[in-house]
């Protein structure tokens, strides 16, 4: 007598193609230096075949701290949330304010939850002598709570204002360019691995 063989369903093949990366510009202070570093970052993101990039800028996010879904908040989120939800990975650019990251960045992060889950985050910081590294380390704790994975390597600019000329060009690009490549290589590895994992198995967190 023939015995029927039942095959388990085959998982869908993982998505291929470039990773969708959202760059979050974390400063909204008047006279901020962030756009200079953001332009440098975008040149690296857009110069790679394995990444496609778009931007969320905290300075353009009119989000209240009350977390009330007012019409104004809903309108602001309509331009932000889809860019976070559709991303496979993130690069978060932060200055350091009083040994931590800006309140506006924390507010934008806190308005979202599932958009960050099971995705990798690369951190780029700038500041004075510390280069914003204390802000980056605080962000690692926040993203861990949101079930995101921060990549090990970062890029930091010590005395950032002196690192770029008046045209926004790095005076000595060798070190930052090498650091950016190492960080983005790690982001791509984690981005591909976690994208495939999310597609094959629902995240259990």
Closest by CA position to 106, among listed 146, 78, 74, 50: 146
Q: Which residues span the domain enclosing 67? A: 19-198
41-64 pLDDT, tens digit per residue, is 999 999 999 999 999 999 999 999
Does residue 204 belong to any structural domain of this protein?
A: no
CATH number of the domain enclosing 55: 3.40.50.360
Does residue 14 belong to any structural domain of this protein?
A: no
Does residue 4 belong to any structural domain of this protein?
A: no
139-185 pLDDT, tens digit per residue, is 999 999 999 999 999 999 999 999 999 999 999 999 999 999 999 99
Q: Is the pLDDT at 13 greater than 60, yes or no?
A: no
Does residue 7 belong to any structural domain of this protein?
A: no
Report how many domains make up the chain.
Answer: 1
Unique residue bearing structure tokens 């969320």:
56
The answer to pTM > 0.85 is yes
Q: Write out the two tokens for 168.
A: 């926004």
The number of beta carbons lying within 10 Å of the beta carbon of residue 199 is 13
Does residue 48 belong to any structural domain of this protein?
A: yes
Residue 27 CA: distances (Å) to CA of 56, 66, 124, 138, 200: 11, 20, 12, 15, 36
φ/ψ (deg, to 5) at 164: -115, 150
Does residue 6 belong to any structural domain of this protein?
A: no
Does residue 94 belong to any structural domain of this protein?
A: yes
Does residue 39 belong to any structural domain of this protein?
A: yes
């Amino acid at each position: 007598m023939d015995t029927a063989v039942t095959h388990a369903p085959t998982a869908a093949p993982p998505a291929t193609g470039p990773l969708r990366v959202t760059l979050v510009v974390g400063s909204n202070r008047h006279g901020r230096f962030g756009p200079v570093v953001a332009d440098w970052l975008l040149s690296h993101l857009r110069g790679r075949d394995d990444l496609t990039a778009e931007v969320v800028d905290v300075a353009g996010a009119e989000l209240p701290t009350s977390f009330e879904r007012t019409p104004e908040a809903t309108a602001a989120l309509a331009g932000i949330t889809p860019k976070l939800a559709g991303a496979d990975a993130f690069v978060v650019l932060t200055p350091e304010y009083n040994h931590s990251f800006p309140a506006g960045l924390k507010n934008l992060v806190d308005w979202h939850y599932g958009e960050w889950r099971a995705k990798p985050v690369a951190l780029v910081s700038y500041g004075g002598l510390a280069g914003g590294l204390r802000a980056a380390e605080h962000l690692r704790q926040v993203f861990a709570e949101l079930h995101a994975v921060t990549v090990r390597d970062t890029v930091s600019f010590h005395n950032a204002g002196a690192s770029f000329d008046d045209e926004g060009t790095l005076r000595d690009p060798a070190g930052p360019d090498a650091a950016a490549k190492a960080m983005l290589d790690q982001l791509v590895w984690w981005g591909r691995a976690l994208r495939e994992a999310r597609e094959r198995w629902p995240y259990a967190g």
